[in-house]
Chain A
Amino acid sequence: MEKVKKIKLQLEVKWFLAIFIVTIITLLILSKLVSVALSQLYQVVAESSSENVAIQLASLMSAAGAVTGKIEIEYIPSTNTLYDVKIGNKKVEAIAKFTQIYIQKMSAESKFCTNFSDEQFTDVNRFVVEKNEENGIVYYILSAGRQVNEG
């Protein structure tokens, strides 16, 4: 009886070791795939995150001041994600409305140095930054809309 118990225990240990080794090997193989998947996820999130959109938009609004005369810049951060954007006190505040629940839902702010007036846009993903000059007076205009994903 004791011998049967011992053999049973040894068998269980062997099974456990076998499963453990197979799991480790599988994880090692999958680690490459996981890292690729994570980089792709990072790419998508980084490109369309609140922080990135706030920084990009504020940079473009500042960059509009770096041209003499006129300029019109179009910026579409993502066709799948919509944003709420608020302009005030020379700052852009953006909130990305990701549908995925695992992405942190935080707003982000970024400063710009040019003279855009205070505005607020809801559910937009297409921005047009304009600089115009009329009779020696410079105007900065930001307009926003929604770009539909045609794909």
Chain B
Amino acid sequence: MKGDITINVIITGLFAIGVAAFALYFLFKIFQEIHTLNIQAQTERNAILLANAVISHEKLIYEKDGIKYRGMLNASKLDSIFKVKSYKGFNDADNFKNVFNPDYWITRDKLDLGYDNTLSLILIIDLDDCNVDRCVAWGGMTVSLNAGELLENRPLVKFGKCLVQSFDVSLGHLEKSVGACVAGGGLAAAIGSVIPGIGTAIGAAIGCAVGVVATLWTPEEIGNCISRSIPEPIKMWIESGNPVSHKGIPVDIVYENGSIHKGRLIVSLLELV
């Protein structure tokens, strides 16, 4: 008879639902991948940008006849800004461990570059004056801590904020929540009515609440928020096996006597939030 639910109608309906579900899954998968790609290189990118700013900074670069030379660092300026200088290279652990001592940090009046809530370690080595017996190197750290932000960006708080931000207030979502409330409420009311001590009303209320909570966020939204809440050092450690980034760029070091040495500047970041 016309209008009857036949097996064909059910199969066709299931097939259509399958196609729609696959299309949605495909769409979310693509956006999830795009987002992940954006996050991956963040610390490395920040380290490269800071390194490039450092080799152009007026308080570090070599100047002659009013011309500032980018990428050419003045050795005398390095001596005045970096409190840690070694003649045994980076192997001089006793000396270089001082870069983590707050008394040896580079103050903002000396070098105003760096990121908030990030330990920015800057190392410079003179490659032309580096051999087994002697190796000239400078080290320093710029640190700017913001206690409020450190507290606010704790993983759990960040996760909660992300969930609130991604909450959908559209009519479609409201309909979905009402549907889930009705379905959950009906089912739980039926179960509650046969279990002594619970009752239909309480069962319906619990079922409705569970139904609404279950439709608040999609698994993709929750996954996205988890990914955004993981602290950067942990993310770096998962992705690269190392909690800090390592990038170095070539520089020239100009000494007072006019000699120019080849060197390398390395910036490592440890982002706290």
Chain A residues within CB distance 8 Å of chain B: 12-13, 15-16, 19-20, 23, 27, 38, 42, 46, 51-52, 55, 59, 62-63, 65-69, 89-91, 101, 104-107, 110-115, 133, 136, 138
Query: Which of B6, B15, B118 is A111 in contact with, Cβ under 8 Å?
Result: B118
B11 at the interface (CB under 8 A from A): yes
Closest to B161 in A: A107
B116 at the interface (CB under 8 A from A): yes
- Does A62 contact B49, Cβ atoms closer than 8 Å? yes
- Which 7 pairs between the two chains have the least Cβ-Cβ distance? A65-B53, A62-B49, A66-B52, A68-B68, A90-B116, A113-B50, A111-B115
Please, which residues of chain B bring their CB within 8 A of the CB of A110? 42
- Does B45 contact A106, Cβ atoms closer than 8 Å? no
- Does B49 contact A59, Cβ atoms closer than 8 Å? yes
- Does B58 contact A66, Cβ atoms closer than 8 Å? no
Distance between Cα atoms of A60 and B68 in the complex (Å): 21
Given known contacts A42-B30, A55-B38, what 12 new A-B pairs fall within 8 Å (CB)? A23-B15, A62-B52, A66-B49, A68-B68, A89-B149, A90-B115, A105-B165, A106-B162, A107-B165, A113-B53, A113-B120, A138-B58
- Does B115 contact A19, Cβ atoms closer than 8 Å? no
CB under 8 Å from chain A, chain B span 57-83? 57-58, 61, 68-70
Distance between Cα atoms of A106 and B271 in the complex (Å): 22
Distance between Cα atoms of A139 and B257 in the complex (Å): 32
Please, which residues of chain B bring their CB within 8 A of the CB of A63? 49, 52-53
Given A12-B8, A106-B166, answer yes or no on A65-B113 (Cβ-Cβ < 8 Å). yes
Please, which residues of chain A bring their CB within 8 A of the CB of B55? 66
Interface bracket on B: 35 or more
Distance between Cα atoms of A26 and B258 in the complex (Å): 74
Please, which residues of chain A bring their CB within 8 A of the CB of B132? none
Closest to A65 in B: B53
Query: Which of A13, A38, A90 is B27 in contact with, Cβ under 8 Å?
Result: A38
B12 at the interface (CB under 8 A from A): yes
Query: Which of A12, A69, A113 is B68 in contact with, Cβ under 8 Å?
Result: A69
Query: Which of B15, B27, B57, B149 is A65 in contact with, Cβ under 8 Å?
Result: B57
Q: What are 24 A-B pairs with beta-carbon distances under 8 A?
A: A12-B8, A16-B11, A55-B38, A59-B49, A62-B50, A62-B52, A63-B52, A63-B53, A65-B53, A65-B56, A65-B57, A66-B55, A68-B68, A69-B68, A89-B116, A89-B146, A101-B170, A104-B31, A111-B118, A113-B46, A113-B49, A113-B50, A133-B58, A136-B58
B144 at the interface (CB under 8 A from A): yes
Please, which residues of chain A bring their CB within 8 A of the CB of B112? 115
Please, which residues of chain A bring their CB within 8 A of the CB of B262? none
- Does A104 contact B30, Cβ atoms closer than 8 Å? no
Query: Which of B6, B12, B61 is A68 in contact with, Cβ under 8 Å?
Result: B61
Query: Which of B31, B38, B146 is A52 in contact with, Cβ under 8 Å?
Result: B38
Closest to A55 in B: B38
- Does B19 contact A66, Cβ atoms closer than 8 Å? no
- Does B114 contact A113, Cβ atoms closer than 8 Å? yes
- Does B115 contact A16, Cβ atoms closer than 8 Å? no
B35 at the interface (CB under 8 A from A): yes
Distance between Cα atoms of A51 and B146 in the complex (Å): 23
